[in-house]
C-alpha cells in the first residue's frame, strides 16, 4: 500500500509538472506565432477565454507527450500532421471542409485557374481492359507529340499495371511537374507499345459543344466544371453555335460538381437580362453580397434547356436555378445533388491550406437548395442499359435524357 501511494503521488506530481511545462511551452509558442502573424493574432484575441484555455489543447498535449515518451513504434511526423488536421475537420462535421498539404494546395489552385501539368488527354476507366482508355488527344500536347491516339489503352504507368483499384492513383501518376517524363505502356491493335511523354502545362477543357446528331438546329453544350477559364470557353461555344445556325441550346450539366463562383456569375451575366443572380449569406445569416447581371444579354430568341442529374452540384445548381428563375430554360433530368454552401480556401503560414464552409448562397428566387436539390420540370431517369456505360461514351442517338431535353425545345421525331 505504501508503495502504491508513493507511486500514485509520484504520478500525480509528474502530471502536474507536465501540465506546467506544457502551459509554459504553449504560451511561448503562442507568443512567437501570434507575433509573426497579426491577422491570426486578431482572430485568436477575439476568441472567448474558455476557448483559448479549452481542455482540447490539454488533451492533445497529454496524448502527444505520452506517445512520444512511451510508444514502442516509430512516429511518422508527416502522416501524424495530416491526420491531425484532417481529423479536426471531420470532427467539426464540415462536410465540404478539407486539409491540403502544400503540394495539394498548389494542385487545387491550378485546377481552379484551369491549369494542370500532364500530357493532354481525356480518359476514362475501361472495364473491358481494366485500364485507362484515351477518349481524346489535345492537338500539340505532349501526348500528341508522343504519338498517342484516340482509342489507345494505357495498361501500365511507370511499369505499374493499371487496374480498377488503382485507376485514380494511376491518373494522378501521369500528372506531374512541368518538363518531367512519364513512361506509359499502351495497348493498341493487339500489341503493347512503350511511349514516353514530357509533361507540360495543359489548359483544362471544361466546355465542349456540338450540334445534336438528330437535329442540326439544336446545340449541345456540355460543361464539366467551373474554373477561371470556363467563361471564355463557354462564350466561344455559344457564339460558334449561333453563327452555325443553331436556334436552341441544351446545357448539359450532368456530373458537374461545381467550381468557382466568379465563373458561373460571369456566364449567367452573359445569358440573362439585368437583375439579381445570386445572394451570399454569412455564418450569422446576414446577407453579405448580391451579384447582378447587366442589361447585355445573349440572343433572347434562342430557346434553352438544362440537363441535370444527381451529381449536378454547387455552381452547376446555381446556373440551373438562375435560368429557371428567369424562365429562360426548361430543366430536364433528375433531382440534383443539393449543395448550396460556399467554401473558402486559406493558405496557412507553412504553405499548407484549409478549405472550410464559410457562406451559403441563394439563387435569384432567394430560396436555398442545400440538402434539397433542384427538381426538374421534366423528370426522366437515364435508361438502365446506359447506367454502366461511361458517361462520355454515350451517343446522342442512345441518350434518352438528352432526347427529352431536345423534345422540350421542339424536336418531335
Q: What is the pLDDT of residue 10?
A: 47
User: Average model confidence (pLDDT) for the chain?
Assistant: 87
Q: What is the pLDDT of residue 333?
A: 98
Nearest residue to 124 via CA among 110, 139, 135: 135
Chain centroid to Cα 376, Å, comes to 23
Q: What is the pLDDT of residue 5?
A: 41
- Tell me the mean pLDDT in the region 190-209: 91
Task: Report in angstroms the alpha-carbon separations of 334 from 265, 309, 317, 370, 404.
Answer: 24, 5, 12, 16, 12
8 Å CB contact between 233 and 270: no
Predicted TM-score (pTM) of this structure = 0.77
**Per-residue cell: 8:** 500514485
Going by pLDDT thresholds of 50, 70 and 90, the confidence category of residue 248 is: very high
CA torsion 313→314→319→323, rounded to 10°?
80
8 Å CB contact between 228 and 114: yes
8 Å CB contact between 248 and 218: yes
Going by pLDDT thresholds of 50, 70 and 90, the confidence category of residue 104 is: confident
Nearest residue to 318 via CA among 381, 389, 380, 269: 269
Q: Which of 136-140, 183-187, 300-304 has the lowest mean pLDDT?
A: 136-140
Q: Give the burial string for 249-267 (b: 16+ CB within 10 Å, else e).
A: bbbbbbbbebbbbbbbbbb
How do beta strands 329-333 and 378-379 pair? parallel
Q: Which residue has the higher pLDDT, 52 or 91?
A: 91
8 Å CB contact between 250 and 219: yes
Q: Residue 399: which residues within 8 A CB-CB, separation 6 or more?
A: 386
Going by pLDDT thresholds of 50, 70 and 90, the confidence category of residue 41 is: low
269: how many CB neighbours lie within 10 A of its CB? 20
Q: Which residue has the higher pLDDT, 228 or 192?
A: 192
3-state secondary structure of 252: strand
Which residues on adjacent β-strands are paired with residue 290? 279
Which residues on adjacent β-strands are paired with residue 100? 353
400: how many CB neighbours lie within 10 A of its CB? 14
Q: What is the pLDDT of residue 48?
A: 67
- Tell me the mean pLDDT in the region 152-171: 91
Q: Residue 37: which residues within 8 A CB-CB, separation 6 or more?
A: 349
pLDDT tens for 398-407 read 999 999 999 9
Q: Residue 139: which residues within 8 A CB-CB, separation 6 or more?
A: none
pLDDT tens for 58-85 read 788 788 888 988 899 999 999 999 999 9
**% of the chain at pLDDT higher than 90:** 63
Which residues on adjacent β-strands are paired with residue 198? 181
In sequence order, which ranges of 93-223 are alpha helices (DSSP H)? 102-112, 142-146, 167-174
How do beta strands 160-161 and 303-308 pair? unpaired
- Tell me the mean pLDDT in the region 117-137: 88
pLDDT greater than 90 at residue 109: no
pLDDT greater than 80 at residue 36: no
Q: Which of 14-18, 279-283, 360-364, 386-390 has the lowest mean pLDDT?
A: 14-18
**Per-residue cell: 194:** 512503350
Q: What is the pLDDT of residue 359?
A: 94
Q: What is the pLDDT of residue 383?
A: 96
Q: What is the pLDDT of residue 116?
A: 78
Task: Report in angstroms the alpha-carbon separations of 330 from 150, 298, 340.
Answer: 35, 17, 21
Determine the Cα–Cα distance for residues 37 and 348; give it in Å rounded to an integer.
Answer: 10
10: how many CB neighbours lie within 10 A of its CB? 10
**Which single residue is written with the C-alpha cell 448539359?**
252
- Residue/partner pairs of 183-187 with CB below 8 Å, 24 or more apart: 183/157, 183/158, 183/159, 184/148, 184/154, 184/156, 184/157, 185/154, 185/155, 185/156, 185/157, 185/159, 186/148, 186/152, 186/153, 186/154, 186/155, 187/129, 187/131, 187/152, 187/153, 187/154, 187/155
Going by pLDDT thresholds of 50, 70 and 90, the confidence category of residue 1 is: very low
Amino acid at each position: 500500500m505504501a508503495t502504491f501511494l508513493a507511486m500514485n503521488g509520484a504520478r500525480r506530481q509528474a502530471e502536474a509538472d507536465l501540465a506546467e511545462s506544457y502551459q509554459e511551452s504553449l504560451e511561448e509558442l503562442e507568443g512567437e506565432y501570434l507575433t509573426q502573424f497579426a491577422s491570426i493574432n486578431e482572430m485568436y484575441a477575439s476568441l472567448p477565454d474558455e476557448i483559448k484555455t479549452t481542455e482540447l489543447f490539454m488533451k492533445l498535449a497529454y496524448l502527444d507527450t505520452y506517445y512520444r515518451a512511451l510508444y514502442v513504434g516509430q512516429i511518422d511526423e508527416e502522416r501524424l500532421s495530416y491526420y491531425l488536421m484532417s481529423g479536426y475537420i471531420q470532427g467539426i462535421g464540415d462536410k465540404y471542409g478539407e486539409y491540403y498539404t502544400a503540394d495539394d494546395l498548389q494542385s487545387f489552385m491550378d485546377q481552379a485557374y484551369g491549369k494542370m501539368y500532364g500530357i493532354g488527354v481525356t480518359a476514362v476507366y475501361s472495364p473491358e481492359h481494366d485500364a485507362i482508355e484515351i477518349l481524346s488527344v489535345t492537338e500539340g500536347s505532349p501526348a500528341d507529340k508522343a504519338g498517342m491516339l484516340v482509342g489507345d489503352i494505357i495498361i501500365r504507368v511507370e511499369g505499374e499495371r493499371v487496374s480498377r483499384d488503382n485507376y485514380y492513383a494511376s491518373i494522378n501518376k501521369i500528372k506531374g511537374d512541368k518538363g518531367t517524363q512519364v513512361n506509359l505502356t499502351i495497348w493498341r491493335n493487339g500489341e503493347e507499345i512503350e511511349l514516353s511523354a514530357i509533361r507540360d502545362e495543359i489548359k483544362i477543357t471544361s466546355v465542349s459543344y456540338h450540334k445534336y446528331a438528330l437535329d442540326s438546329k439544336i446545340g449541345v453544350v456540355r460543361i464539366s466544371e467551373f474554373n477561371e477559364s470556363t467563361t471564355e470557353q463557354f462564350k466561344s461555344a455559344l457564339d460558334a453555335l449561333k453563327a452555325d445556325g443553331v436556334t436552341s441550346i441544351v446545357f448539359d450539366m450532368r456530373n458537374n460538381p461545381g467550381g468557382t463562383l466568379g465563373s458561373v456569375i460571369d456566364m449567367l451575366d452573359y445569358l440573362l437580362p439585368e437583375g439579381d443572380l445570386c445572394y451570399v449569406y454569412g455564418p450569422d445569416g446576414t446577407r453579405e453580397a448580391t451579384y447582378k447581371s447587366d442589361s447585355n444579354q445573349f440572343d433572347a430568341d434562342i430557346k434553352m434547356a438544362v440537363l441535370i442529374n444527381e451529381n449536378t452540384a454547387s455552381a452547376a445548381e446555381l446556373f440551373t436555378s438562375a435560368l429557371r428563375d428567369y424562365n429562360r430554360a426548361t430543366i430536364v433530368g433528375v433531382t440534383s445533388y443539393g449543395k448550396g454552401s460556399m467554401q473558402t480556401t486559406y493558405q496557412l503560414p507553412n504553405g499548407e491550406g484549409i478549405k472550410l464552409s464559410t457562406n451559403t448562397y441563394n439563387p435569384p428566387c432567394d430560396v436555398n437548395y442545400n440538402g434539397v436539390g433542384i427538381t426538374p420540370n421534366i423528370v426522366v431517369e437515364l435508361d438502365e442499359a446506359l447506367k454502366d456505360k461511361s458517361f462520355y461514351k454515350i451517343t446522342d442517338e442512345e441518350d434518352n435524357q438528352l432526347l427529352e431535353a431536345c423534345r422540350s425545345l421542339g424536336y418531335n421525331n
